[in-house]
Chain A
Amino acid sequence: MQRKLRGRYLLPGMVVVGVAIAGMLTSGESASQAATPPAGAQALHSATSAKAGPITYNAPPSSGIAAGQILFEQNCASCHGSDASGGERAPNLQGLGPATVDFWVSTGRMPLASANAQPARKPPRFNRAQTLQIVAFVNSLAPTGADYPSGIPSVNTSAADIATGNSLFTLNCAGCHTITGAGDALSNGFFAPSLHKAQARQVVEAIRTGPSLMPHFGPGNLSDQQVADIVAYVTGPIQHPSDHGGLGFGGIGPVAEGFIGLLFGVGGLMLVAFWLGDRK
């Protein structure tokens, strides 16, 4: 009994494999050099800007307060109240400082899309100028509390030490955000978000203001230089990991690796065995 070579499987199989390899190669190391995230907001120099250091905190321009009030009334007051004092549905924003407001608005978390347990990053509704106007307005309502930075941070990472940032990140951040910054689920529907889209300024703001469930790291806990080191590490090896070994699978580790190993490794070889052996 003679059989044809199973040519009908050969060509489609080769096409699939070829596409798969091409796809994998173009998303490997070379493609992980994504465009650097846009630099944090340029320092808006005003009379109240702090002295030069790894992080400078600049107050938002007061010229934006009027426009900010209009934007706030249209987009935020329905929950936070016209004077941002909050209520049942939303917290009091007075005294939280410009960095807090800038974080929530520029990451798109506010305005809130749906009343989930925790607001998530999404494309921001406002452009940078508008965001600063809103920040200026809220900032004008009350003096900033002692626990919060007095201005919007801008980071200078030229003197940052990535190895120190690595060590600090591992000790303080990896427990929630994972060692690769991929984010993970906390209790009761909350989560620590992925850091892969965070801009340098937003990293500082999050560290200094402790949004949602995040702990609040003040200058007594992490100095400005240490925060700059962490920012350098996040915007460097976290957001542009050295995926020297190929596809990174999202950086979530053995769960993804086991899936691939079983599906492609064992599964693929079982397919080979299916071809090689008999069916009877």
Chain B
Amino acid sequence: MTDDTLTSGPPGAAAAGSHGADDGHAAVLPLAAFDDPHMQPYAKNPRRAEAIIGLILLVGLAGFCAYGGLFWVGGQPQWEGVFFGVGLFAFGFGMSAWGKYLLPQGPFEEQRHVLASTEPEVEAMAAAIEERGKMVFRRRGFLGTILGAGAGVMGIVLAFPLLRSLGPQPKKSLAVTNWTKGVAVVDLDGRQIHQADLEVGGALTVFPQGFEGSAVDQTMLIRPAPADQDIVTKPGRETWGPKGYLAYSKLCTHAGCPVGLYEGTLKRLLCPCHQSLFEVLTGANPVFGPAPRPLPQLPLMIDSRGFLHAQGPYSEPVGPGFWERA
């Protein structure tokens, strides 16, 4: 390798073996001599650069060894991250620095060849496709039609196992829950809820008995009012909110997240996903955020022993909207 000082001539001067970029002709290239400025390394002081790069590569090596040792004594994520991460980075840094500072700096060039073919070649290609195609189909159009029809039907029919075999049709599964007339209201552990269980301002996730944990049945039971008040949220729902209790579907009508956030004193349900806000006392009407419809309300009743039951199913499909939702 030559020593440091630059021995370049005037710009563009060709040392033995380099040609300017301008002529564009194919050139016979003899050797590039080592004092060609294109062959000089980028580093002003290559010896010092070598030393530094050597040190950096050593750091890399040390990092690898440290990680290897740490692994065998049990490992620890943060130190593993430091050792092997520093090792990898230093190793790469050394390699890149070697390439950037110690190898010939150029600049080198290559010529672009014209991508496009000549016009006659393009026409010949197009003609080949067209004419040979015509040869195939000349006076055999009906064969082509049958072939095409077969391919089309095959394509359609292949979609059947690809799509339909995947799973069941939606049918009523999106519209129907397991809340039926008289079913007991239970919590996740199957415990029946008694009217004395919730304080005013209380909230609990409930399910129909026998379907604890079921996604589509999840319901928020809340008690916004004391036991001497029956809550009427909308006309026609006079008996739905006995003794201060209300129940709404926990599936947000926006995108289906569980509306598990009850703002007790404000009497609102907030959906944590996209912050739809539902007014509990007026039938879970959405007052803020993207939800387009109120949460369906579950009609409640209290039996003679004081346990909560559903009067019947939800009056509309629960959860977000879909095409078949009437």
Contact = CB atoms under 8 A, between A and B. Distances in A.
Contacts of B265: 212-213
Given A215-B203, A218-B197, A210 B266 contact: no
A213 B260 CA distance: 14
Contacts of B8: 1
Interface in B256-274: 258, 260-266, 268, 270, 272
Interface residues of A, number: 37
Nearest to A276: B96
B263 A187 contact: yes
Contacts of A188: 266
Given A5-B52, A176-B261, A187-B288, A221 B44 contact: no
Given A218-B202, A221-B202, A2 B261 contact: no
A2 B258 contact: no
Given A1-B105, A28-B78, A246-B81, A214 B264 contact: yes
B196 A25 contact: no
A221 B43 contact: no
B242 interface: no
Interface string A1-15: 111110100100000
B125 interface: no
A150 to B, nearest CB: 14
B205 interface: yes
B6 interface: yes
A236 B198 CA distance: 27
B200 A2 contact: no
Contact of A210 (B43, B105, B201): B201
A171 B187 CA distance: 11
A217 interface: yes
A51 interface: no
Q: How big is chain B's contact interface, by range?
A: 35 or more
B303 interface: no
B307 interface: no
B197 to A, nearest CB: 3
Contacts of B222: 215
A254 interface: no
A172 B197 CA distance: 15
Interface string A169-186: 001101110000000101
Interface string A197-218: 0000000000000101111111
A210 B264 contact: yes
Interface string A119-152: 0000000000000000000000000000100000
Interface in B78-127: 78-79, 81-82, 96-97, 100-101, 105
B45 interface: yes
B78 A5 contact: no
B47 to A, nearest CB: 11
A4 B4 CA distance: 11
A220 interface: yes
Interface of A: 1-5, 7, 10, 21, 24-25, 28-29, 147, 171-172, 174-176, 184, 186-188, 190, 210, 212-218, 220-221, 244-246, 276
5 contacts: A3-B42, A3-B43, A147-B200, A210-B201, A245-B77
